[in-house]
Amino acid sequence: MTMQPQPAADLKIRCDACPVACWIRPGMAGACDRYANRDGELIRVDPHVILERTLDQGGRVVAFNQRKTEWAGEIVPEEELFVTAIGAGTTYPDYKPAPFIVSAEVDGVDMVTVVTEGIFSYCGVKVKVDTDRFLGPEQAVVRAQGEAVGHVTTGEYGSQMLSLGGVHHLTGGSKKEGRVTCEALLDLSNGKPVELTIDDGSTIVVEAGKAPIINGVPEERMRVGCGSATIGIFAKQWFGKVDEVVVVDDHITGVLSEHASGKVLGIQPTGIKMRGRRSTPGRYFQVADPGTGWGGTSISDPLSILDPFDKNVAKPGMTLFMVSTTGEHSAFFRLDENLVPVETEMPEALRASTERIKENCEPALSTVLFIAGAGGSLRAGVTENPVRLTRSVKDTLTRVTCGGAPVYVWPGGGITFMVDVTRLPANAFGYVPTPALVAPIEFTLKLEDYAALGGHMDHVRPLSTLGDHESRLVPPVQGNVWPFASDGPRWGRG
Ligand code: SF4
């Protein structure tokens, strides 16, 4: 009996787009769901995204080669189209040229955009959570599905910061830690909610561009300022309406009568005595433990941060207004004959003042910045002389974008970039099970500069040759600088 050769369409094919090297059966996708075997041909499953500046936010979806038909021959100026790396595919090993090296004439200048879906083992996300509530101690481990995926890092003004991912969690722990880290990074980068637990701290749900949920409660407001700043902002509005104001804040609690703004207004001492450590007049540190109560402290009773009033200064009948930095908590007291503050109904003027504090708070959001290093082997897909690409980026001759979104390139060595994930089209990020994140990256520069840095000139193709290629035309994300804009920001040094 002789064996009949199997038709090509029935054979498994090997994907060579990443080190996993999947063998993919006909009609099936590889381990990352990005590549599939269609009738014996290896295809990138998702459409290749091309930004079209003239599209409105409705975002028609057409195959690129249908464009002329649909527009009855109307030609779109090349500068109105930007070829992103989303869905473009990856070449591996890296010495092969990037999947698309596309030339276009922009304002009479020949430009080239080199696009590839980079595979990043060195990547992570920085998450900014607008809240003063205690999420966990600095350096505490942040977990997803019980696995360590990052840590709490230094807080910023009105926000807590998390640093997630990175090569150690992706590659340096157990297999599960790497897989869960990759999954958390992918979901966060693609704008999905992720639940995180912090050792000795809170459980939070973060989602890029949405309010964080802390221990099950959505955060509404970012504080108007620290306690001292709040005193500074509102001192004049409180003058004459109350004898003393305390703005409770885990970091810097403010006391009106002692604060410089109270002194300037001529507010008299009240004999108030604060707990915690006095930093400068009217500014106190560590009045309580951090927590999820008043002003990011652990307290639910504001009087717990006061010692008895000074009998030589305080007088019965004096009034005290206590408020948190978001206006979420507030209370009004009057001193009784023993100089003990007794809570009483808040006067209308102070109620309005609490509302004014709330009004001046910005909505609390979670912000996710993806960070990755593109200064490694990925550069070989752009040029045979990789350091010239790095220099070109630093000299701002080459503009780096991520899915068409502007990025910040860190000064110093390498091409370490950060991008706000909400500035990319939907689902721009992928993964491979090595594990690593897959992120789009584009390098745009003048064609002559590309030649000078040793670019793969024999692979440069005009935009029009993408006509036989299945693409999705999408509008640029609102507010993004158009990648070809001559007046766009320069992201490198210089
Ligand atoms: S994981 Fe994805 S990219 Fe890697 S070889 Fe498999 S199908 Fe190809």
Q: How far is the CA of 29 from the centre of ligand 1 (A)?
A: 9
35 lines ligand 1 (CB under 6 A): yes
* pLDDT for position 93: 78
Within 278-347, residue ranges assigned H as helices are none
Q: How far is the CA of 171 from the centre of ligand 1 (A)?
A: 18
What tokens were used for 257? Answer: 């009568």
User: Is the pLDDT score of 381 beyond 80?
Assistant: yes
User: Is the pLDDT score of 74 beyond 60?
Assistant: no
* Exposed/middle/buried for residue 197 (C-beta within 10 Å: 0-12, 13-18, 19+): middle
Residue 211 CA neighbour count, 13 Å, CB half: 13
15 lines ligand 1 (CB under 6 A): yes
Segment 247-303, tens digit of pLDDT:
999 999 999 999 999 999 999 999 999 999 999 999 999 999 999 999 999 999 999
Percent of the chain with pLDDT over 70: 91
Task: Please indicate whether residue 299 or residue 58 has the higher confidence score (pLDDT).
Answer: 299
DSSP string, 111-162: EEEEEEEEEESSEEEEEEE---S----TTPEEEETTEEEEEEEEEETTEEEE
Segment 324-374, tens digit of pLDDT:
999 999 999 999 999 999 999 999 999 999 999 999 999 999 999 999 999
pLDDT band at residue 466 using 50, 70 and 90 as cut-offs: confident
Q: Do residues 339 and 316 make contact, with C-beta atoms less than 8 angstroms apart?
A: yes
Q: What is the pTM of this model?
A: 0.89
pLDDT band at residue 159 using 50, 70 and 90 as cut-offs: very high
Task: Please indicate whether residue 363 or residue 59 has the higher confidence score (pLDDT).
Answer: 363
Q: How far is CA 246 from the centre of its chain?
A: 34
* pLDDT for position 281: 96
User: Is the pLDDT score of 62 beyond 60?
Assistant: no
Secondary structure of residue 65 in the 3-state scheme: helix
Q: Is the bond preceding residue 26 a cis peptide, omega within 30 degrees?
A: no
* pLDDT for position 290: 93
Alpha-carbon span 414 to 386, nearest angstrom: 10
Q: How far is the CA of 32 from the centre of ligand 1 (A)?
A: 6
Angle, alpha carbons 173-179-182 (nearest 5°) = 105
* pLDDT for position 291: 93
* pLDDT for position 9: 58
pLDDT band at residue 79 using 50, 70 and 90 as cut-offs: confident
* Exposed/middle/buried for residue 434 (C-beta within 10 Å: 0-12, 13-18, 19+): middle
Q: How far is the CA of 136 from the centre of ligand 1 (A)?
A: 38
* pLDDT for position 75: 60
* pLDDT for position 470: 75
* Atom of ligand 1 at shortest range from CA of 14: 5
